[in-house]
């Protein structure tokens, strides 16, 4: 790979990172706007779509910044375990971290099975 090709690749990567950052901000703003309207039944699909976009963009942004998908998932797992150990408020009142851990473990078991 020549110097020009390397510079073009770096420039392209920077442009993609900036685009992903803008997309992330746009989707977070859309989420807040939709939540301000109330989480009515008809908004559930829109909110689910927006949340999935945010998660996808975070994975892609991490990848462009040199962080593997696996590393991101390991960090998520560590945060879940820490929240369980420290009895995070969401866990204490709703059991959300336990449910999320079960879901992620179930999804991984299906992939391996």
- Entry pTM: 0.86
50 contacts 43 by C-beta, under 8 angstroms = no
Q: Is the pLDDT of residue 40 over 60?
A: yes
Q: Is the pLDDT of residue 7 over 90?
A: no
pLDDT in tens, 52-97: 999 999 999 999 999 999 999 999 999 999 999 999 999 999 999 9
Mean pLDDT rounded to a whole number for the chain:
92
Long-range contacts of 55-60, Cβ-Cβ distance < 8 Å, separation of 24 or more: 57/20, 57/23, 57/24, 57/27, 58/24, 60/20
**Of all residues in the chain, what percent carry a pLDDT higher than 70?**
95
């Amino acid at each position: 790979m020549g110097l020009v090709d390397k510079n073009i690749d770096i420039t392209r990567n920077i442009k993609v990172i900036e685009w992903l950052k803008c997309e992330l901000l746009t989707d977070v703003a859309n989420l807040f706007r939709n939540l301000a309207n109330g989480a009515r039944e008809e908004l559930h699909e829109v909110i689910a779509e927006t949340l999935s976009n945010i998660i996808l963009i975070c994975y892609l942004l991490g990848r462009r910044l040199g962080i593997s998908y696996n590393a991101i998932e390991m960090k998520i797992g560590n945060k879940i375990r820490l929240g369980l150990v420290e009895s995070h408020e969401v866990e204490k009142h709703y059991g959300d971290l336990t449910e999320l851990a079960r879901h992620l473990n179930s999804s991984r078991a299906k992939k391996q099975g």
